[in-house]
Structure formats: C-alpha cells, structure tokens
Chain A
Amino acid sequence: KAGVTQTPRYLIKTRGQQVTLSCSPISGHRSVSWYQQTPGQGLQFLFEYFSETQRNKGNFPGRFSGRQFSNSRSEMNVSTLELGDSALYLCASSPGLHTGELFFGEGSRLTVL
C-alpha cells in the first residue's frame, strides 16, 4: 500500500506570493491533517479534514487555508507569503476521525525569500 504522498517536495517562493501544497493520503484513509514544522516552534497543527469538511483548525492566521476533495486528497494554500512561513509542511492521514495514529508524508519544504 502506498504511503502518504506530498507534492512538491521542495519549493522556493518570494514574499507576497502564494503557494499550494498537495497531499494524497493512504488509500482508504479519510482523515487528513496538516502540520507546520520549524526549528523554533516544532510541529504545530494547522487543520484537519474529514469527508471534505474542516473539523479542526489550529492557531494560524487566515492566510493559511485548505480543502479536501471527494477522493480524500487534500490541498493547503498559503497566501501573501511571509519569511516566517518558511518551514516543512507535513501532511498526515488516518483511517478515520479521532483514531490516534497518524501516517505522515515526507513533507513539502517551503523556503520564502
């Protein structure tokens, strides 16, 4: 069974631009969550989707948004990029909502110049 796939793996943007990251969960998994990982703040929860609905949201500004499609694939978008948005963005899937163990992808490394 294929794992969680995230694209792109690496990208470089400039301040003010926007970016869209994609995540394909493990086949059959319906819950997708997103995390931001930085050296200073560690792993921080962004949002969680289940059945195309955002179920939970972390403490991030409205520039961070996401969505989930009917096939459970998810995208997250960051608009008006700031230098501080440089981070590893991790997607995780799980079979259902509130099932504990998360299966992470390898992440999308975003650098904002």
Chain B
Amino acid sequence: GENVGLHLPTLSVQEGDNSIINCAYSNSASDYFIWYKQESGKGPQFIIDIRSNMDKRQGQRVTVLLNKTVKHLSLQIAATQPGDSAVYFCAENSGGSYIPTFGRGTSLIVHP
C-alpha cells in the first residue's frame, strides 16, 4: 500500500473502543475545517466538516469538536471498527482563501 506518512503520530485502539484524534491548527483566521480519512492506496475521503460558528458537529459515529480559543480540533469515532484503520487529516480554510491547509495526519490502527 501507499506509505503516505512514515513518521506520523499513531493511535492504536481495540475494536469497539472510542477513538479521539486531535489536530492543532495554526491560523486564527481559519473559519472552516474538514476531516479526511485516507486508506492505504486511496485518496483522502471527506468525513465531516465544521464551521467556526459551531463548536460541535455530529455525523454517523463521528463527532468533531472545535475549540477556537486554543485552536484545537478533534475527531471522535465511536465504536471504532477495523475498517476505520487509516490516516486521518484535518484541513483548515481561512475566510480569504478556500485552499485548505492540511495537517500532517494521524495513523489510526484498530486491532480486532
């Protein structure tokens, strides 16, 4: 498969546990954030987004939390499954530019 990040932070969890993946962003003007999932050999896939006028948004088994005070974003995955194993990226957009800046990514490994 593709080695998209040889030195990525890694989170290992057991199947059924909840996972929390964190991301610190740099631009205080960023107002739109997206989480992407990238499985080995594939391109990134949209998971969930959040705008800066919100601090929480829920999807199917996923929740994104935004703390603008400390410029921190987190992705919570409930009842993690082996199919959730992938690299997860956060991306930020500032109001003046819709070109996302991607974080380095976190590798999630789910053990059956």
Which residues on A are within 8 Å of B, measured CB to CB? 4, 33, 35, 37, 39, 42-45, 48, 56, 58, 88, 90, 92, 97-107, 109
B59 CB to closest chain A CB (Å) equals 13
User: Given A4-B43, A42-B102: A100 and B34 within 8 A (CB)?
Assistant: yes
CB A90 to nearest CB in B, in angstroms, measures 5
Contact A106 B45 (CB under 8 A): no
Contact A102 B100 (CB under 8 A): yes
Chain B: residues with CB nearer than 8 A to chain A?
A: 2-7, 32, 34, 36, 41-46, 49, 89, 93, 97-105
A40 nearest CB across to chain B (Å): 8
| A37 in contact with B4 (CB, 8 Å) | yes
CA distance A107 to B38 in the complex (A): 12
The 10 A-B residue pairs with the shortest CB-CB distance, nearest first, are: A104-B43, A98-B98, A43-B102, A39-B6, A101-B46, A104-B44, A42-B104, A106-B43, A45-B99, A105-B43
Residue among A43, A48, A101 with most chain B CB within 10 A: A43
